[in-house]
Amino acid sequence: MLLMLMFLFIGLHSPKGFNFQIFKPAYRLQRGRSSNFQINLALMTSKTPQYQQYSFENTLHISPIEAFELIKCDKAVLLDVREDYETTQGRPDLSRNMLAIPMSVLLENIDLIPRDKALIVMCAHGIRSVQVVAYLSPFLPEACYNLDGAFEYWELQGLPVISGNVSEKG
């Protein structure tokens, strides 16, 4: 019990030198006037990534757990921009609200990106997803976020993953 509490408050140290916290999903919901819960995106996002070193100015980052909650609530779509050969390590297991469009063919398939929901962009380590967010943000009416820590931290935080290469768009 004491060891578990230490992990919750101190965090773990990964072999790559990044610190990551193990925590329960922060549902950051607020009760609206109509007594329905509203998701407060301002509390869920940050301009400073916590799980990766790469960022551009004015890029918004969202943690994997909070991204998963938004996607489950049908408020966002996850865009996986990894190349097909990279997906052998797996993909997030999402039954809906996920697109897999490799960065190399993103411009040819830009019309597949929905414009009615927030967009969360993911790659393998967070470099390409930050670039895609910086490129797409001015063109999308809804918010565009980088998945902080990329697929690596999606897995490390115990979120659902499908093993193997699943190379389908949409």
* pLDDT tens-digit readout, 115-143: 999 999 999 988 899 999 999 999 898 88
Q: Is residue 6 part of a domain?
A: no
pTM: 0.70
Cα 86 from chain centroid (whole Å): 17
Domain containing 45: what range? 41-162
Please state the domain count of the chain: 1
pLDDT band, residue 74 (cuts 50/70/90): very high
CATH number at residue 102: 3.40.250.10
- What is the distance between the alpha carbons of residues 102 and 85, in angstroms, rounded to a whole number? 10
Q: pLDDT (tens digit, 9 = 90+) per residue, 92-106?
A: 998 789 999 999 999
The model's pLDDT over 19-28, given as tens digits with 9 standing for 90+, comes to 333 333 333 3
pLDDT at residue 33 tops 50: no
